[in-house]
Chain A
Amino acid sequence: QSVLTLPPSVSAAPGQKVTISCSGSSSNIGNNYVSWYQQLPGTAPKLLIYENNKRPSEIPDRFSGSKSGTSATLGITGLQTGDEADYYCGTWDSSLSAYVFGAGTKVTVL
């Protein structure tokens, strides 16, 4: 059981928008930076969002991140078939002195 809660799956049609919420607590999301990762089938994870809302230069602006209180959200607009993947949120947990990941959300493009 992860300390960060993600929905197991989300889905939408091509071109639509999806949001994935990551819920935590004051010991993790509430007081530390959140990052998001995309893992395409059979590949290594890739950083999508760091420090809550920053995108690496190679990540398109269709991907966005935000944080409010003890929750963080990943948004994907203009959904494409190539976006079908598992998405993970992660942050440091100050009580555990450990980095924690959510269990992952599978995004399906209908």
Chain B
Amino acid sequence: EVQLVESGGGLVKPGESLRLSCVASGFFVSTYTMNWVRQAPGKGLEWVSSISSSSTYIYYADSVKGRFTISRDNAKNSLYLQMNSLRAEDTAVYYCAGGGSGAFGVVSWFDPWGQGTLVTVSS
């Protein structure tokens, strides 16, 4: 069974850091562009960051650029998101997703998806 399992979410104070992890089973992440997508409570989907299969292409949403760092370890079949200087507006469920991409790592689609991990930033 193809599965992505996120971990590392929790309650932190503004300005603090958190590291999210995502472990895949049933498929090899090495062949996929991997992504983080978040969803604030009661809101729509917001793309956060993507990393190509060999880490050649990395993209971030403007809202997290300079604060978040995406990385991957294909040997561990894992994806990570280091989140620094967290803000209240970063509060969301963070989904890990595999996906397809084209030239220059341009993201085309997201599949499969994990079940998400909740990050709450509050004093």
In the complex, B46 has a CB within 8 A of chain A? yes
Chain A residues, Cβ within 8 Å of B108: 32-33, 35, 50-51, 92
A65 to B4 Cα, complex, angstroms? 26
Contact A101 B44, beta carbon cutoff 8 Å: yes
How many Cβ-Cβ contacts under 8 Å join chain A to chain B? 69
| Residue positions of A touching B, CB distance < 8 A | 2, 32-33, 35, 37, 39, 43-47, 50-51, 56, 86, 88, 90, 92, 94, 96-104
Contact A47 B45, beta carbon cutoff 8 Å: no
Q: Which residues of chain B from 105 to 123 have any CB-CB distance to chain A below 8 Å in the complex?
A: 106-116
Contact A44 B50, beta carbon cutoff 8 Å: no
When the two chains form the complex, which single residue of B47, B61, B62, B109 contacts A33, counting CB atoms closer than 8 Å? B109
Chain A residues, Cβ within 8 Å of B106: 32, 92, 94
Which of B37, B44, B113, B116 has the most C-beta atoms of chain A within 10 angstroms of its own C-beta? B44
Closest chain B CB from A33 CB (angstroms): 5
- 7 A/B residue pairs, CB under 8 Å, sorted by A: A33-B102, A46-B111, A50-B100, A86-B44, A90-B45, A92-B107, A98-B62
A75 to B114 Cα, complex, angstroms? 26
Tell whether A88 pairs with B44 under 8 Å between CB atoms, given A45-B95, A97-B59.
Answer: yes
A56 to B2 Cα, complex, angstroms? 14
Contact B113 A35, beta carbon cutoff 8 Å: no
Contact B110 A45, beta carbon cutoff 8 Å: yes
Closest chain A CB from B27 CB (angstroms): 14
Contact B109 A45, beta carbon cutoff 8 Å: no
A44 to B38 Cα, complex, angstroms? 11
Extra inter-chain contacts (16) besides given A45-B37, A92-B108, CB under 8 Å: A35-B108, A35-B110, A37-B45, A37-B110, A44-B114, A44-B115, A45-B45, A47-B110, A47-B113, A96-B62, A97-B59, A99-B35, A99-B107, A101-B44, A101-B46, A104-B44
When the two chains form the complex, which single residue of B50, B111, B114, B115 contacts A99, counting CB atoms closer than 8 Å? B50
Contact A56 B47, beta carbon cutoff 8 Å: no
